């Protein structure tokens, strides 16, 4: 949604930061096939708790994320089933590939190289198509580097906000 808004109303933004995103709806080529097969299997069986556990295991995949993953699962299980399922409803309007080259807002694309949910190629595609984008890769990190590389994440974000430059801040 933020990319659609930046396309339609660029004056609303000075900068954008995209974390673990993809230019298309969940599916190939940017989501891991094992993830797609697993979530479809759980969905077909009607196993909502299993689907939620499977998804969060991929989104919060690093060992230090176990407690946060369990907290997310417990809190989401309190959500009405219809609301949970709506997260996985297909949305044909989510694909923003066709407008990316028209977005000129300086953008930082952040992505963990070891993301088990969204492939790193999705970040590369976003950064390559956006006019004023920089890609910052978190080596050895998964889908949410702000939780597992907090200092690095804050350094990169602060540098981008202050200077429009994300690279070159760490040795």
pLDDT band at 122 (very low <50, low <70, confident <90, very high): very high
Indicate whether 170 belongs to any domain: no
Q: What tokens were used for 14?
A: 């000075």
Q: What angle do CA 49, 85, 47 make, to 5 degrees?
A: 30
The tokens describing 156, both together, are 């990169």
| Position 124 in a domain | yes
Supply the pLDDT for residue 167. 61
Q: Is residue 168 part of a domain?
A: no
Mean pLDDT of 48-75: 94
CA 98: distance to chain centroid?
Answer: 19
pTM, rounded to two decimals: 0.88
Q: Which two tokens stand for residue 102?
A: 């028209």
Range of the structural domain that residue 74 is part of: 33-86
Dihedral over Cα of 46, 60, 154, 22: its sign: negative
Contact call for residues 51 and 88 (beta carbons, < 8 A): yes
């Amino acid at each position: 949604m933020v990319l659609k808004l930046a396309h339609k109303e660029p004056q609303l933004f000075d900068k954008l930061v995209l974390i673990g995103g993809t230019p298309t709806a969940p599916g190939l080529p940017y989501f891991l096939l094992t993830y797609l097969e697993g979530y479809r299997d759980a969905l077909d069986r009607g196993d909502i708790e299993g689907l939620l556990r499977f998804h969060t295991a991929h989104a919060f995949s690093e060992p230090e994320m176990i407690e946060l993953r369990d907290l997310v699962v417990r809190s989401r299980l309190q959500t009405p089933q219809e609301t949970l399922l709506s997260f996985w409803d297909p949305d044909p309007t989510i694909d923003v590939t066709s407008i990316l080259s028209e977005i000129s807002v300086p953008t930082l694309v952040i992505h963990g190289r070891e993301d088990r949910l969204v492939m790193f190629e999705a970040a590369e595609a976003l950064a390559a198509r956006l006019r004023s984008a920089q890609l910052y890769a978190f080596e050895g990190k998964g889908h949410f580097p702000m939780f597992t590389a907090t200092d690095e994440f804050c350094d990169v974000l602060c540098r981008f906000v202050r200077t429009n430059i994300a690279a070159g801040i760490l040795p």
